[in-house]
A and B are shown apart, each in its own frame.
Chain A
Amino acid sequence: MATSAALRAPNTFRAGPDERGRFGIFGGRFVAETLMPLILDLERAYEAAKTDPAFHAEMNHWRTHYVGRPSPLYFARRITEHLGGAKVYFKRDELNHTGSHKINNCLGQILLAKRMGKTRIIAETGAGQHGVAAATVSAQFGLPCTVYMGSKDIDRQAPNVFRMKLLGAEVRPVESGSRSLKDALNEALRDWVTNVADTFYIIGTAAGPHPYPAMVRDFQCIIGEEVRTQIAEAEGRLPDSLVACIGGGSNAIGLFHPFLDDPSVRIIGVEAAGRGIETGEHAASLTAGRPGVLHGNRTYLLQDDDGQIKEAHSISAGLDYPGIGPEHAWLKDTGRAEYVAATDAEALEAFKLCARLEGILPALEPAHALAHVIKIAPTLPKDHIIVMNLCGRGDKDVFSIAQHLGADL
């Protein structure tokens, strides 16, 4: 066992993807020919930007003065005391402008869109956090923005829909398929295929065809890089565990990636178990799916025996996706990261605990991460350090949580 694992383990977990955009067998460029020249263009433009100090200088300027980075690394004393075990830190990416980690990626992509001379932005959104972030940078950089959103998500994320409209974006409801995030992605791809000359597609998570998974990860890595510096200042050492929620997996890969080659750091991604894995109504593609090809990449998917994509379910619209970023699929198969799941009910309980003990309303997405922290922290020694990515704030969820708790607003 140990030998085969050692043989399988690469020298570094941070070198991917390869030139074909693959992490092991995952990733790739499974797109229609119309889009192929566009993603090759994007790859060239991104490779050039990546090594251009001017691009990074501009990013850093906007991160500091517009997004409000670095976000704090906060010792959650009350939760730590309540759980009675490991020390729990929150990476406070919910304090970013627009209220989640999504702005990190949107900022990078819109700067790239400007460099490429694109004049129109499209995006897909589930919870609306990415849609809001895309609408925000589009407003700031003066580009028209169209956001595709499943009509089911429009109903449960009404405040974010209105925010996008206030920011000048057009929100196009998607009625096809399961009317949620995967269908919004299909519809955005259809738009891109139709408007190839002027349009830049800001994908919101670390999935899709190469180079998106790598590019989105790179833009989100600021999270983990800051944590490295901040935890060194706070504790003088590396954390023992990292915990983040996983829908497509962008906040998680941003936290995890800078630590992949530190073997002492345990890495845990938390998927949405919905009403329970055994009910089949969940969004846990790594826990309960198998490899397949969707939205331009090979990854773990929720699918039936015929390879038809199944509808995901989660209380959190942002995790309600039947796939997962390809790098997570690879990290699972190599054993470098562990993937677990938390149910709707566990996430709601975590949400309530966080509100009452810490005075923080987490988004329902990181409430899943917190639900897992609640499970493991009491079993760990007091000198064990957990860093959890609090990647979004819960203001957007207040109405749907009220509904779940039976409160009449």
Chain B
Amino acid sequence: MSSRIAACFAALRKEGRAGLITFLTAGDPDRATSLAILQGLARAGADVIELGMPFTDPMADGPAIQAGNLRALAGGMTLKGVLDLARAFRAGDDATPLVLMGYYNPIYSYGNARFLADARAAGVDGLIIVDLPPEEDDELCLPAHAAGLDFIRLATPTTDDRRLPKVLTNTSGFIYYVSITGITGTRTPRAQAVTQAVARLKRHTTLPVAVGFGIRTPADAAETARAADAAVVGSALVERCAPGGPGVVKDVLGAVAALAEGVRGARR
């Protein structure tokens, strides 16, 4: 699958530290700001970049990311625009893994085969599609693998041991553990529960385990980094896009640098 994602986690293992995965919505608060942030993320300390494909009805997301989606759409962002951003980012960075995250309908509307080809050509490494569970793998997951893209799946506290193998079967790149039952950005997980959950996942898979939902501060990120292979931060960064204007790039990248410091300083 994606050599960038595999290489990234291999390097992290070698360094003996966890990674920082950042989530931002493409085109939030506007295209130019969004691209400037993307281009600065790796230098600020992001190891993997998740780029949200905006959708009118983000059912698994809390208020912060819902608002980010609507800001991006109001600014005219489309799925084609997301792929353009990805291509622009990739032109200046051939190493940092880029994962598109979102909901199925805009992709289905774009055309699955065309989307996979265009995403691959734009330098995208993987996909996280919230509303495509393993029961619907023939829709996009298997074609994505065939197109050379990783399909990263969410596992949740409701995914029990009986179901976990089904979730893991066609998952590649890494597994994204949703640390709470709930929507993004609403509550903070308990460290002990996360540690136990990661251990449970590790019994079933050799894939790297990233943990997200509810991680807000450098201290939260450090705590997650002690238990998991990567910490995902989304809502706390998306909130910083809300004001718009020239200060957003510096503010977001400053927050990413602080989170990265938290992750890198965490003893494993």
Interface residues of A (CB under 8 A from B): 20, 28-38, 176-177, 182-183, 186, 189-190, 193-196, 292-296, 298, 301, 303, 305-309
A85 to B10, CA, bound (A): 77
B136 and A193 contact, CB distance less than 8 A: no
Instruction: Kindly report which residue of chain A lies nearest to residue B129, judged by CB atoms.
Output: A30
A301–B55 Cα gap in the complex (Å)? 14
Counting chain B residues whose Cβ lies within 8 A of the other chain, the interface size class is: 35 or more
Kindly state whether residue B186 has any CB partner on chain A within 8 Å.
yes
- Interface of B (DSSP majority class): loop
Across the interface, B109 reaches (CB within 8 A) one of A28, A35, A195, A306, namely A306
Q: Is B182 a contact partner of A33 (Cβ separation < 8 A)?
A: no
Chain A at the B interface: SS class: mixed
A177–B133 CA distance with the chains assembled, in angstroms: 25
Q: Which residue of A lies closest to B183 (CB)?
A: A190
- Report chain A residues within 8 Å CB of B181: 34, 193-196
Chain A residues lying within 8 Å of B80, measured Cβ to Cβ, are 306
Question: Within 8 Å CB of B106, what residues of A?
Answer: 306-308
Distance, CA A305 to CA B111, complexed state (A): 11
What are some 9 contacts across the A-B interface (CB < 8 A)? A34-B181, A36-B135, A37-B163, A189-B59, A193-B183, A293-B108, A295-B57, A301-B105, A307-B108
Question: How many Å from the CB of B58 to the closest CB on chain A?
Answer: 8
Most-contacted residue by chain B among A35, A37, A190, A294 (CB, 10 A): A190
Can you name the residue of chain B whose Cβ is closest to the Cβ of A183? Answer: B57
* Residues on the A chain within 8 Å of B133, using CB: 29-33, 36
Known: A30-B132, A33-B159, A37-B160. A309 touches B56 (CB 8 A): yes
- Are A33 and B156 neighbours in the complex by a CB distance under 8 Å? yes
Top 7 closest A-B pairs, CB basis? Answer: A307-B109, A307-B106, A194-B182, A34-B156, A306-B78, A32-B60, A30-B131
- Chain B residues with a Cβ under 8 A of chain A: 55-60, 62-63, 66, 70, 73, 78-80, 103-110, 130-133, 135-136, 153-160, 163, 167, 178, 181-183, 186
Contact (Cβ within 8 A) B105 A32: no
| Cβ-defined contact, A293 with B135, below 8 A | no
Distance between Cα atoms of A189 and B183 in the complex (Å): 10
Bound-complex Cα distance A294 to B103 (A): 9
**Alpha-carbon gap, A38 to B156, bound state (A):** 12
Q: How far is the CA of A308 from the CA of B106 in the complex (A)?
A: 6
Q: Across the two chains, which residue of chain A brings its CB closest to B163?
A: A37
Q: How far, in angstroms, from A301 to B108 measured CA to CA in the complex? A: 12
Q: A189-B59, A194-B182, A308-B73 are in contact. Are A37 and B109 (CB under 8 A)?
A: no
- Residues of A contacting B132 with CB < 8 Å? 30
What is the minimal beta-carbon distance from A42 to any residue of chain B, in angstroms? 13
The answer, among B55, B66, B136, for a CB contact under 8 Å with A29, is B136
How long is the Cα–Cα vector from A190 to B62 in the complex, in angstroms?
Answer: 8
Known: A20-B135, A292-B108, A293-B104. 14 other contacts (CB 8 A): A32-B60, A32-B131, A33-B153, A33-B159, A34-B182, A36-B133, A36-B135, A189-B59, A190-B60, A190-B182, A196-B158, A293-B103, A303-B109, A307-B106
Q: Which residues of A contact B130 (CB under 8 A)?
A: 32
A183 to B69 Cα, complex, angstroms: 14
Residues of B within 8 A of A293 (CB): 103-105, 108, 131
**CB–CB B79/A307 < 8 A:** yes
Q: How far is the CA of A167 from the CA of B9 in the complex (A)?
A: 55
Question: Which residues of B lie under 8 Å from residue A37 when comparing CB positions?
Answer: 158-160, 163
Task: Report the separation of the CA atoms of residues A387 and B118 in the bound assembly, to the nearest whole angstrom.
Answer: 51
- Measured between alpha carbons, how far is A116 from B154 in the docked complex, in Å? 26
Bound-state CA distance A298–B103 (Å) is: 13
Residues B159 and A28 in contact, CB atoms below 8 Å apart: no
Contacts of A186 in B (CB 8 A): 57-59
Residues of A within 8 A of B58 (CB): 186
- Give complex CA distance A195, B182 in Å: 7
Least CB separation from A189: chain B residue: B59
Could you tell me the distance between the alpha carbons of A294 and B108 in the complex, rounded to whole angstroms?
11
Report chain A residues within 8 Å CB of B178: 33-34
Report the Cα distance A182→B58, complex, angstroms: 11
User: A176: which B residues are within 8 A, CB to CB?
Assistant: 63, 66
Q: Which residues of A contact B55 (CB under 8 A)?
A: 307-308
Residues in B whose Cβ lies below 8 Å from that of A183: 57
A308 to B110, CA, bound (A): 11
Residues in B whose Cβ lies below 8 Å from that of A33: 133, 153-156, 158-159, 167, 178
Question: Looking at B105, B181, B182, which has the most chain A CB atoms within 10 Å of its CB?
Answer: B105
Least distance between A24 CB and chain B CB atoms (Å): 15
Find out whether the CB atom of A32 lies under 8 angstroms from the CB atom of B78: no
The chain A residue with its CB closest to the CB of B103 is A293
Closest beta carbon of chain A to B42's beta carbon, Å = 28
Q: Within 8 Å CB of B153, what residues of A?
A: 33
Contact A307:B136 (CB < 8 A) given known A32-B60, A34-B158, A34-B178: no
